[in-house]
Amino acid sequence: MVIGVLALQGAVSEHVALLKRCNVQTKLIKEPADLQGIKGIVLPGGESTTMHKLLVRERLLAPLKNLVQHNFPVFGTCAGLVLLTQPETFNSFDGEVIRNGFGRQRESFESAIEVAGFTDPFPGVFIRAPYLKKVGTDVKVLATLAANRIVAARQKNILVTAFHPELTLDTRFHELFVNQVVPMSKFVAN
């Protein structure tokens, strides 16, 4: 099984490394032809405005949006969560995203996160992270921080985290994603 990692900008190699630890093959996605044959895609952290512009420039926005809106498995971390949620990019994840939601004092921090379904806390690495203020009824909230800030969630084919599992050695979120891809593996991008 091959999982794509959007490779326009941001924490690409870190996702590739964790996916390899989950025993899946990876493919860097830089142009529309690269989408062929992948069974899921990771949208990494980085800078969402820059990534949006690059998606448009490389003509990846329309084909990727089409996939995501048609049940294709996608995992967005940090800027990836922003892209999946905001109307001008993928407009797919049903939530209200607050970019850089933790403010200046807490630009970067680590926090042990209780995640629904995980026995032990997850090491959450937050870097100018967004959070979800509210989410639609078909979204399952997986983790929140103080003041009910939603920092991990799933909506059908879409898994999002406001933090960066790829900057840890903890594969649990990637495994969750890979396990979500397997039952859908009949779906192949073409």
Residues 86-145 that bind ligand GLN (CB under 6 A): 99-100, 127-128, 130
46 binds ligand GLN (CB under 6 A): yes
Rounded CA-CA distance 19/21 in Å is: 5
Q: Cβ closer to ligand GLN: 78 or 189?
A: 78
Query: In this structure, are residues 166 and 45 in contact, taking their beta carbons and an 8 Å threshold?
Result: yes
Which of 8, 67, 68, 78 touches ligand GLN by CB under 6 A?
78
105 HSE (CA, 13 A, CB side): 0
Asked if 166 is an active-site residue, the reply is yes
- Say which DSSP state 134 is in: E
Is 22 one of the catalytic residues? no
Longest dimension (CA), the chain: 46
Residues contacting 172, CB < 8 A, separation 6+ = 115, 118, 122, 165
Q: Is 59 annotated as a binding residue?
A: no
Least Cβ distance, residue 130 to ligand GLN (angstroms): 6
Work out the angle between the directed axes of helices 172-181 and 12-21 (0-180°, nearest 10): 70
Pick between residue 25 and residue 100 the one whose CB is nearest to ligand GLN. 100
Among 82, 139, 145, 153, binds ligand GLN (CB under 6 A): 82
User: With left for phi above 0 and alpha for psi between -120 and 50, is residue 23 left, alpha or beta?
Assistant: left
45, 73, 76, 95: which one binds ligand GLN (CB under 6 A): 45
Of 47 and 175, the one with the shorter C-beta distance to ligand GLN is 47
Catalytic residue at 78?
Answer: yes
Contact (Cβ atoms closer than 8 angstroms) between residue 40 and residue 177: yes
- The reply on whether position 7 binds ligand GLN by CB under 6 A is no
Give the interface with ligand GLN as residue ranges (CB under 6 A).
45-48, 78-79, 82, 99-100, 127-128, 130
- Known binding-site residue numbers: 46-48, 99, 127-128
Please state the residue numbers annotated as binding site for L-glutamine.
46-48, 99, 127-128
